[in-house]
Amino acid sequence: MSRPLKLMKSINKFTLTTLSLMCLLAFAANSHAQKTTKPILHGTHWVAVTGKPLAATAGAMTFTRGGNAVDAACAMLAATSTMWDTLGWGGETQALIYNPHTGEVKGINALGVAPSGATAEYFHAKGMAYPPEYGPLAAVTPGTPGGLMVMMAEFGTLSLAEVLAPAIQMAQGYPIEGVQANNIERRRDVLAQWPSSQAVFLPHYDENDPTVRAAPEAGELFKQTDLLATLNKLVETEAKALATGKSREEAIYAAYDRFYRGDIAEEIVRSSREYGGLFTMEDLDKWQVHIEEPVTTNYKGIDVYKLTTWVQGPAMLQALNILEGIDLKGMGYNSARYIHTLYQAMNLSFADRDFYYGDPYMPPVEPIAGLLSKKYAKQRRALIDPGKNNPDIRPGDPYRFQKGTNPYKDLLKNWSPIPPSAAAEGADGFQQASLMDSDEAFIAGTTSIQAADAEGWVVSITPSGGWIPAFIAGNTGVGLSQRMQSFVLTEKMNPYNVVRPGQRPRATLTPTLALKKGKPFLAFSVQGGDTQEQNLLQFFLNMVEFGMNVQQAVEAPNFISYQMQSSFGAHKSEPGRLQISPTLSGWISSELGRMGYKVEAQRRPYSPLTAIYFEEDNGSMWGGASDYGDDYGIAW
C-alpha cells in the first residue's frame, strides 16, 4: 500500500472518530433541543404524576379539594392499589416526604414483616431454596394501608373519607384497561385455586370450559365489592371517632386500628391460615409504620436522599460516590466508555447490596456509615478496569471506614455472585412453578408516585406488592404481598437478610428526593424491580451531567445490567449481561462486546419513570412522565 493511501485512511479514521466525538458532545451541549414524545407538565400550584391516568386524576381531584401534596399522593396510592397497578392494598409502601416547614426529608417505612413461624428452617423443610413467589406463604404483613394512614395523619390535611373517595368510586366499578384485563387472564390458573381471588378477578370463570375467557374484557366495569366494603369500614370508623370528639389524627388512627387489630385483621389472619399462610393476630398488632431518617450523599453540590438498607436505595448513593471522581461528561452520553463505567460502578454497589443490606430494625446492624463513606467509594473506584468487565465483582469491607470490625469475614471470603439454585420439589412434595421468566421478574414490580404543591410539600413514593396473581384475603378484597421471596435462607448469601419472624425483607423499592441549596430540586422514582436504581441513576445523570430537561431525561434510553443478584424467584445472577437500546450505534455494541459484555439490543431496556423538577428562577414545577407504559401526570 502506498504511503499517501495509508495516510488518507489514517486521516479518514481520525476524522470519523473526531466527528463521532463531536456528535456526542453536541448532544450533551444541546440536549434541550431534543424532541420528546410527551410534553413537560408545567405548574405553579401543584403537580401529580403516577403510573395510571385515572390515578393521576385522583391526585388532581384531591388537590382541588384543598389537599396538600401528601393528601394527593395518598389518593394516588389508593387509586393505583385499587387498579392493581402491579400492587394491591395488602402490599408495601415506601415514601420520602419533604416538609417545607422544617426543611427536613422524612422516610416512611411501611414494609411488612415475616410472620410467626417464617424461618429458614421452615422453608428448607419444604424443600425450598427461597420462599415462594406467590400465595399466602409468600406474604409479609400488609403495609400499604398503614403507610397511607400514617402519612395522612402526620403530614396531610384532609380526612380519610376525602382522600379515599376516588378509590371508593373505583371499587364500585371502573372500566378496566386491556393490558390489565389480559394480565389477569394469563394468570387465571393460579387465581382460580383460591375462591376469594377467583371471585374478584375471574367473573366469567367456567370450570367446565377452559376456552371461555374468565377475566373481564377491556373496558368492562371491574367491580370489587369486598374491597369497597373494607374501604367503607375505614371511613365509617373515622366518622364515628370524629363524632365522639376525636381529632382528625385520632380518627385516622382509629381506622388504622380497625385494619390491624379489628375485624379486618381477623379475616386476613383466618383466610390466609386456611390456605397455608402463617399470619397471627399478634403479627398484625405488633407491626408498625416507621417514620425515619433517610440516608443521603452529596453529588457535586446536590444532596440526594434515599431510604436506608431495608430497600436497595443506598446502592444509588454508593454509585454516585464512586462516579463523582470520574469525568462522565467528557466520555460522552451513552458512549461505550460511559456505559462501561456506570456498569462497573453499579455492580460494585450492588455487590454490597447483595451481601450487606437488610432490615435495620433487626440485628445484625448494617454498616451503612462505611458503605456511604467517600473514602470507601474511592477504594471501590480503584477496582474499575477501564478496559474490560469484571464478572467476579464482590462485596467490599466497609467496616474499616466506620472504625469497626467485619463480623462476617469468613462469609465474605467465600461469597459467590452466583447464588444457589432453587429446589424443584420439596421434602413434603411442595412444588411451585415460576410465573415469570428471569427477565420479567428482574424488571417487574411496582408503580411510582410524585406529588408537589405551592406550599412546598414534596412526596416521592414507590409502592408495590400484592400484584396479580394475588391471594385475596377472604372477604376483605385485600390482595396480600409476595415480598417474602426477597429474603434469603442462608447466611452465605446475605447474613443481614435471612428470613425470621418480625424481619423485613430487603426490597427493591426506592423513591428519591434531591435538594439543592437546601431546597427541592428533584423528586423521582421508577417502576421495576432490580432495574430501579439503575434507571434512576441514569435519569439523574441525564439531568445533572448532560443538561437534559425532565421530560427528556425520563424518555432517554437506559441500559440494564443483570450482573447483580435478582431479588425475586431464584435470585439469578448473569455476569456481563447487558441490554442496550437499538438506537445506539453498532460500533458501541461492538466495543462493549470487546470489553467482555454479552450485549443485547432491547427495544425498551428500562422501566417507566416519573419525576418532578423544581425550576429555581421562576419558582415553577416541571413534571415528567415516561413515554413507556401508562405513566401520566396533571399539573396546574
Q: Domain extents for the chain? A: 36-41+292-405+509-635, 73-90+106-288+422-444+465-486
pLDDT at 628 over 90: no
Closest to 321 in 3D by CA, of 356, 292, 348? 348
Predicted pLDDT at 424: 36
What is the chain's mean pLDDT, rounded?
Answer: 91
User: pTM of the entire structure?
Assistant: 0.93
pLDDT at 434 over 60: no
Closest to 118 in 3D by CA, of 279, 289, 354? 279
- The predicted model gives 577-589 an average pLDDT of 92
Backbone Cα Rg of the chain:
24
Q: How many helices (H) and strands (E) does the chain have?
A: 23, 19
Task: Specify the residue for cell string 437534559.
Answer: 548
DSSP state at residue 121: H
Span 38-61, pLDDT tens digits: 999 999 999 999 999 999 999 999
- Residue 4's pLDDT band (boundaries 50, 70, 90)? very low
Predicted pLDDT at 419: 83
Predicted pLDDT at 435: 57
Span 70-101, pLDDT tens digits: 999 999 999 999 999 889 999 999 999 999 99
Predicted pLDDT at 608: 85
Portion of the chain with pLDDT greater than 90, in percent: 85
Contacts of 25 (CB under 8 A, 6+ apart): 332
Span 520-539, pLDDT tens digits: 999 999 988 889 999 999 99
Predicted pLDDT at 527: 86
Asked which of 162-176, 309-323, 355-369, 518-532 is least confident by mean pLDDT, the reply is: 518-532
Span 310-331, pLDDT tens digits: 999 999 999 999 999 999 999 9
Predicted pLDDT at 247: 98
Predicted pLDDT at 159: 98
pLDDT at 13 over 90: no
Q: Where are the alpha helices (DSSP H) in 275-364?
A: 281-286, 314-323, 328-331, 336-356
Predicted pLDDT at 23: 44
Predicted pLDDT at 425: 34
Calpha distance 121→426 (Å, rounded): 13
pLDDT at 442 over 70: no
- Residue 421's pLDDT band (boundaries 50, 70, 90)? low
pLDDT at 437 over 90: no
- Residue 606's pLDDT band (boundaries 50, 70, 90)? low
Task: Specify the residue for cell string 415553577.
Answer: 620
Three state DSSP letters for 418-447: CCCCCCCCCCCCCCCCCCCCHHHHHHCCEC
- Residue 19's pLDDT band (boundaries 50, 70, 90)? very low
pLDDT at 563 over 70: yes
Higher pLDDT, 581 or 426: 581
pLDDT at 30 over 50: no
Span 123-142, pLDDT tens digits: 999 999 999 999 999 999 99
Q: Which CATH architecture has domain 36-41+292-405+509-635?
A: 4-Layer Sandwich (3.60)
Task: Write the DSSP string, 603-618.
Answer: S--S--EEEEEEETTT
Predicted pLDDT at 417: 85
- The predicted model gives 14-42 an average pLDDT of 58
Span 229-267, pLDDT tens digits: 999 999 999 999 999 999 999 999 999 999 999 999 999
Predicted pLDDT at 441: 52
Predicted pLDDT at 603: 79
Calpha distance 339→59 (Å, rounded): 37
Predicted pLDDT at 428: 39
- Residue 65's pLDDT band (boundaries 50, 70, 90)? very high
Higher pLDDT, 486 or 428: 486
